[in-house]
Structure 1
């Protein structure tokens, strides 16, 4: 069975995470996964959990408007949130279909002080990470999670699990009363 999936980004990390997540739950599908550049309609660096989720929802909706003939539309938005411990980083994944949607958030991790100092000056996490770790365009590679784990966990794998979890209601459509 062929399924067309539109990822609301041209970032290869988000496209690959989506493809791998779908392949894990739906190995029988022939997947056509395509990225499309659409706005999140939130800040370039979402600074709260709510803003980050809103960005992922907006991306999925904007992808559907841009390419309405797909089976799934996927919005992935990375964000940070200030806590008593400092800034934590995470991402929201939203997967939409005509029958319903699924949402999941990645795990969180604490950002180091050197990175948070740059964020406080208005620098986006990806650029702050590049400066602190002397990397280039890390958000299209391992990201901050990759830099901080010495490459043990890259951004693709980090997002892939959340893609699988966002698919839970769709994979279990009868339990969630969705007509897939």
Structure 2
């Protein structure tokens, strides 16, 4: 069985497991070895727009590729929020690249409760707002806001894993997607 190296641009176990499980689901015939690296996103600690969040994921991939160039895939996951219809929507962007192909996808979107939204709008990072409002500790490395709000019917890893699978569509269907120069 062939082994591929995947560099995850994060040390957060939720992101690492989401990446690994997404790859394994899409390519069960391959074996994956994960390497992690902490790299800057180049955006705010709490991205506040769709564009800023996607830019953060792209930057993480580019920085991971620079830090660990001897890999088969690099993956960046960036969580963000954006105002929509007077509420604050939460989501993540995932970018995956190889030497020839780039795939990207956005996770499902959900809306934050008013108490959390107000803190985030005042400059508090979402994870900190969740911990304050829901009396939790380090929810970022657990179920996240979605896990808290759904009583873990859906957690952060599952939300991100689905986006990883979607970002891998061009890799699974290379004949349908023209190879592009790798970008972050």
TM-score band, normalised by shorter chain: over 0.9
Report what 1:23 is aligned to.
24
Q: Deviations over 1:16-62 (max 9, x none)?
A: 00000001011111110121100000000000000000000000000
1:157 aligned partner: 158
TM-score of the two chains, using structure 1 as the length reference: 0.97
User: Gaps spanning 5+ residues in structure 2: where?
Assistant: none
Q: Tell me, in whole angstroms, the C-alpha distance in 1 between the residues paired with 2:178 and 2:119.
A: 45
Query: Helix, strand or coil for the counterpart of 2:58?
Result: helix
CA distance in 2: counterparts of 1:28 and 1:43, whole angstroms: 38
RMSD: 0.9
SS in 2 for 1:150: coil
Unpaired runs of 5+ residues, structure 1, are none
Is the CA contact (8 Å cut-off) linking 1:170 and 1:178 kept in structure 2? Answer: no
Q: Structure 1 runs of 4+ off > 6 angstroms? A: none
Does structure 2 conserve the Cα–Cα contact (< 8 Å) formed by 1:102 and 1:166? yes
Give the SS at the match of 1:40. coil
What is aligned with 1:112? 113
Deviation at 1:178, TM superposition (A): 2.9
User: TM-score, with normalisation over the residues of structure 2?
Assistant: 0.95
Equivalents in 1 of 2:60, 2:29: separation in Å?
A: 27
